Structure 1
Amino acid sequence: MKEIAVNGCRECDHLSMRSRIAEALANYCHCFDGGDYDGLRNIFADAASIELGQSFSGSLDEFVLWATEQRRLGRQYSHHVTNMVVEENERGDAVSSISAVSALVASDDAKIPSRLVHGIYTDSWVRSGSSWRIRKRAYRPRITANLSG
């Protein structure tokens, strides 16, 4: 890890970065699950590329349209992100993270989850002012389970 002192505390800067990235990941879950598409746009860089396994692959604008369609079809999601690991390159100019994500999926009429999906997000981050935004997201599915019987 490159030693860069901002306000005299390299470790403080690293912890601040990790905290902001963890908050952005949590906000992603809340925004996607709650249908806050403007909020989603604030989590990703304008030119972001997003790949979600076989479900979706495209730009940020296309992702927002896809997420809107999921909601219109009555799909409700409850995302949970854990086990986050953040890494910087030696120069300190590139940041990436991996995190585990689980989501319960329910249809609007059932209100009871019918599917559980679990996988890994691999994200590349870019600094935007005092915040961090996802430049590239790749999702690798690990578990998909039907819960409805």
Structure 2
Amino acid sequence: MTTLRSSVTRTATLEPHVVDMSEMIEKFALQQLAWTYCHAIDRGDLRLLRSLYHDDAIDDHGPMFRGSPDEYVAWLPSMLANWEATSHVISNMLFLIDGHQAEGELAVLAYHRTPAPGSREVIARGRYLDRYEKREGIWRFLRRSLVLDSMEERSTPIGSGPSLDEGIEKGRADAEDACFTRLAMFGRQRGLPGAPA
């Protein structure tokens, strides 16, 4: 049986150190929070997205948006309406934890495609600089801010032959996405009646 050193983890260092089970658990919970944020944005699940923030949190996307979680969720539909598809991918994740407070630097690649005709791709590379707080045993965002490291915009490539994605179901930013219609537990999480069993 593994004994956890303490219910309060203090690993506010990036230097190599002995990692115990409690630190691994806390860091995994923070990773899950980050991955769930990407899923919620790309699938348009604003209820789930809102649940990831403390009520007194701030989301800071620079000049585009800065405000409370409720304001962020209210603003997102108008911004997401500009895109036919989005894909947010988190790669490098560094977390520093001090008790019930934590900070994270998370590298993000955010892909956006406008609708046809004249479809364009916008690829942003940046970092989320996050502050988290654990309340009642649950980590949530206390402050999420975006730093842009580079951006690329280009026309969507159009091939001359058969499309590689021909016949493959397209992703959607709503409850009709295959994630919810093909995976019963995801469908129930989204609150869909009659989700596959």
Q: Shared topology, TM-score over 0.5?
A: yes
* Aligned with residue 13 of structure 1, among 14, 22, 26: 22
Q: Cα offset for 1:111?
A: 10
Larger Rg: 2
CA pair 75-67 structure 1, distance change in 2 beyond 3 A: farther
**Cα distance in structure 1, aligned partners of 2:61 and 2:105:** 14
1:109-143 deviation digits (Å, cap 9, x = unpaired) = 36966110011111111113332100001111011
Q: Cα offset for 1:74?
A: 3.9
Does residue 117 (structure 1) correspond to residue 118 (structure 2)? The answer is no
TM-score (norm 2): 0.65
CA pair 54-75 structure 1, distance change in 2 beyond 3 A: farther
* Aligned with residue 93 of structure 1, among 100, 112, 117: 100
**Cα distance in structure 2, aligned partners of 1:87 and 1:110:** 45
Could you say which structure has the greater relative contact order, defined with CA pairs below 8 angstroms and 6 or more residues apart? 1
- Kept in 2, the 8 Å contact 1:46–1:60? The answer is yes
**Cα distance in structure 2, aligned partners of 1:11 and 1:141:** 34
Does residue 83 (structure 1) correspond to residue 95 (structure 2)? The answer is no
- Kept in 2, the 8 Å contact 1:104–1:113? The answer is no
**Cα distance in structure 2, aligned partners of 1:117 and 1:110:** 22
CA pair 51-112 structure 1, distance change in 2 beyond 3 A: same
CA pair 15-116 structure 1, distance change in 2 beyond 3 A: same
% identical aligned pairs: 23
1:86-130 deviation digits (Å, cap 9, x = unpaired) = 1023xx232111100111101133696611001111111111333
Q: Paired residues, what number?
A: 142
Question: For 1:1-149, what aligned pairs fall within 5 Å after superposition?
Answer: 5-6=6-7, 11-89=20-98, 92-109=99-116, 114-148=121-155
70-79 or 11-20: bigger deviation:
70-79
User: Partner of 2:20: helix, strand, or coil?
Assistant: helix
User: Partner of 1:147: helix, strand, or coil?
Assistant: strand
Structure (1 or 2) with the greater strand fraction: 1
**Cα distance in structure 1, aligned partners of 2:92 and 2:120:** 23
In the alignment, structure 1 segments of 5+ residues that lack a partner are none
User: Partner of 1:114: helix, strand, or coil?
Assistant: strand
Structure (1 or 2) with the greater helix fraction: 1
TM-score (norm 1): 0.85
- The amino acid across from 2:61 in the alignment is L
CA pair 110-42 structure 1, distance change in 2 beyond 3 A: farther
- The amino acid across from 1:5 in the alignment is S
1:64-87 deviation digits (Å, cap 9, x = unpaired) = 112111233445311001110010
CA pair 112-18 structure 1, distance change in 2 beyond 3 A: farther
